[in-house]
Amino acid sequence: AYQTISDYLDNLCDRSTSMDPDDFRMLHESMIDALTPGNPLQDYYQYREEQEDGGYLHDLVKTCQQVLSEAEDYHTVKQQAIKLGKLYGDLQVHKHVIENERIPRLQNWFKRYQKEWPELSWYEFSACTGSTLGIFCLVSYTLSGKMDATLSNQIERSYFPYMQGLHILLDYYIDQQEDEKEGDLNFCAYYDHEEEMKNRFRYFVERTHEEIQRLPDAPFHQMIHEGLVGMYLADRKVGKLSNAKSFVKEMLKVSGKKATFFYYNTKMYHKLKPGREI
C-alpha cells in the first residue's frame, strides 16, 4: 500500500495540472500520515482542482496505519521512517515545481544537509532521498520481531544515502533519453562528463557494499544491491544510450557475479516477454 501511494503521487505530480508547491506538499502529507498510526486523515487534494478519488488515497493511508499499529516494535523505527519519508516528500515538492525554480530549490535544500554529507553533490543527495527502500527495510525488520534501537540506526545508515542513491541514480540513468524528450528533471544530466558519472556510480556501488556488511542478513541485502544493478542495466532503454556498453560492463564488473547473473536473466526475460518493461 505504501509503494502504491508513492507511485500514485508520482503520477499525479509528474503530469500535474498544478505547479503549486503547497499542493505537492499536501499530497505527500499522506505518506507521513501513513507512517504515523493515529494521525487523522486529511484533505490531501485541498490545493488542486481534482478532488474526488473515491476514497482511494485515504484507504491506502489507513491500510498502512493499521499494519503499523499492530507492530509492537514500530515505535523503535518510527523516527527513522518518518525522517526518510519527509526527505522523500521534500524532493517531490522541489522537483515538480515550475522548471526555473527546481534547481535553486534543490540546491538550497541540500545546503541544510551538506555538512552531514559533504561527499555528495546536490543532485546525488536529491537522488538518495527519492527511494523508499530504507522505509521498507525498517518496517520489514520491525514486522519480523528482530528490531531494536541499534539495528534501526544501522539500517538507516546502511540504506541512506548509498543504497537508496544507487537505486535512484540507476533509475535516472536508464530514463535519460525519455526525460530529455519529456523535459523532465534527470540528475544524471548534471555530471560533467561520462567518465565522472561512471566513477560516481562506482563509488555508490562500493559504499553500498561496505555499509550493508554491517547489517544482519548481509547476503540478503547484498542480493538487493546486486539485483538493482543487474535488473536496471538490463532494461531495454539502456541500449539506446550512448556509451552504454562500456558503462554496463564497468558497473557489472564492480558489482559482482550476482549482478551479472541478474543482468543476463533479466535480458532473457525481456526476450521471452517482448514489449514488457521491468
Residue-range domain boundaries for the chain = 71-272
Summarize pLDDT for 251-272 with one digit per residue, the tens: 999 999 999 999 999 999 988 8
| HSE, side-chain direction, 13 A CA sphere, residue 117 | 19
What is the distance between the alpha carbons of residues 91 and 102, in angstroms, rounded to a whole number? 10
What is the distance between the alpha carbons of residues 188 and 173, in angstroms, rounded to a whole number? 6
For every one of its 278 residues, what pLDDT tens digit does the chain have, with 9 covering 90 and above?
A: 999 999 999 999 987 778 899 999 999 999 999 999 999 999 999 999 888 999 999 999 999 999 999 999 999 999 999 999 999 999 999 999 999 999 999 999 999 999 999 999 999 999 999 999 999 999 999 999 989 999 999 999 999 999 999 999 999 999 999 998 888 899 999 999 999 999 999 999 999 999 999 999 999 999 999 999 999 999 999 999 988 999 999 999 999 999 999 999 999 998 887 655 54
> 110 is written with which cell numbers?
541540500
Q: Angle formed by the axes of helices 2-14 and 21-34, to 10°? A: 170
What is the distance between the alpha carbons of residues 269 and 28, in angstroms, rounded to a whole number? 35
Record the pTM.
0.94
Q: Give percent helix, percent strand, percent coil of the chain, each to the nearest 5.
A: 75, 0, 25
Indicate the SS3 state at residue 188: helix
Longest dimension (CA), the chain: 51
